[in-house]
């Protein structure tokens, strides 16, 4: 059976993490022609609360649709980190928002930190692109899809007027994510 690669994005509802998951799954399934499955769970609140989006990527069919053991996890808030930063593979990676997660989850995985919301606000000028920065950072760190596929999937999803803004955010996230591993 083909290798499964599992990624979990978590944060507050409304932060665009479900969209980040969808973009990653599109990059894998539509652009790179792999198997990909995206799912999410959320509470009754449309904004706030903790939400998560999972993406499973594989070269073969994906049977079980939920995460079994997570290869890479993102947590944008403390609540998300407390609730969803679990089930991570030994030697897997966990990316935290440097400003919003103070208490680090414990486990046999490597923790990385990036000030994602601050980068969105200060470097790009729009908090709304934080999800794209986070997505790009995860792609940069994991290589689960190519940089080109990731960027193209982002561009396909956003309105033309926001193309450049998102490309800028993607490039920043990818570069910072890759740099974390050096």
Q: Could you tell me the CA-to-CA distances from 41 to 10, 53, 86, 140 in Å, in that order?
A: 10, 7, 15, 25
Candidates 7, 17, 29, 81; binder of other proteins (CB under 8 A) is 29
Question: Of 92, 74, 78, 79, which Cα lies nearest the Cα of 132?
Answer: 74
Contact of 158 with 166, CB cutoff 8 Å? yes
Select from 29-37, 95-103, 113-121, 165-173 the region that touches other proteins (CB under 8 A): 29-37
In the bound state with other proteins, the residue whose beta carbon lies nearer, of 45 and 148, is 45
Burial 76-101 (b: 16+ CB within 10 A, else e): bbbbbbebbbeebbeebbbbbbeebb
Applying CB under 8 A, the span of 39-47, 81-89, 94-102, 128-136 interacting with other proteins comes to 39-47
SS3 38: strand
Stretch that binds other proteins, among 56-64, 88-96, 127-135, 143-151 (CB under 8 A): 56-64
When asked if residue 30 is in the footprint of other proteins (CB under 8 A), the reply is yes
> Min. distance of Cβ 78 from other proteins in angstroms?
22
163-180 helix and 130-142 helix, angle to the nearest 10 degrees? 40
Of these, 12, 17, 37, 76, which contacts other proteins (CB under 8 A)? 37
Q: Which two tokens stand for residue 125?
A: 């000028």
Nearer to other proteins, 57 or 120 (CB): 57
Report yes or no: 122 and 115 within 8 Å, Cβ to Cβ: no
Any contact of residue 66 with other proteins (CB under 8 A)?
yes
Site for other proteins in 82-141 (CB under 8 A): none
- In angstroms, rounded to a whole number, what is the distance separating the alpha carbons of residues 47 and 63? 31
7, 17, 20, 25: which one contacts other proteins (CB under 8 A)?
25
Nearer CB in complex with other proteins: 23/76: 23
Minimum Å gap between C-beta 66 and other proteins is 6
Interface residues with other proteins (CB under 8 A) are 1, 22, 25-26, 29-30, 35-44, 62-66, 68
């Amino acid at each position: 059976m083909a290798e499964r690669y599992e990624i979990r994005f978590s944060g507050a509802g409304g932060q665009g993490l479900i969209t980040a998951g969808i973009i990653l799954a599109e990059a894998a399934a539509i652009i790179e022609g792999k198997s990909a499955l995206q799912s999410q769970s959320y509470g009754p609140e449309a904004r706030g609360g903790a939400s998560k989006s999972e993406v499973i990527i594989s070269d073969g069919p994906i049977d079980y649709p939920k995460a079994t053991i997570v290869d890479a996890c993102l947590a944008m808030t403390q609540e998300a980190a407390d609730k969803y930063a679990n089930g991570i593979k030994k030697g897997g990676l966990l990316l935290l928002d440097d400003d919003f997660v103070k208490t680090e989850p414990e486990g046999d995985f490597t923790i990385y930190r990036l000030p994602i919301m601050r980068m969105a606000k200060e470097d790009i000028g729009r908090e709304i692109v934080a999800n794209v920065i986070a997505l790009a950072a995860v792609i940069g760190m994991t290589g689960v899809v190519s940089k080109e596929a990731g960027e193209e999937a982002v561009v396909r999803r956003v309105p033309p007027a926001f193309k450049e803004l998102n490309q800028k955010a993607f490039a920043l996230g990818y570069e910072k994510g890759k740099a974390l591993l050096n």
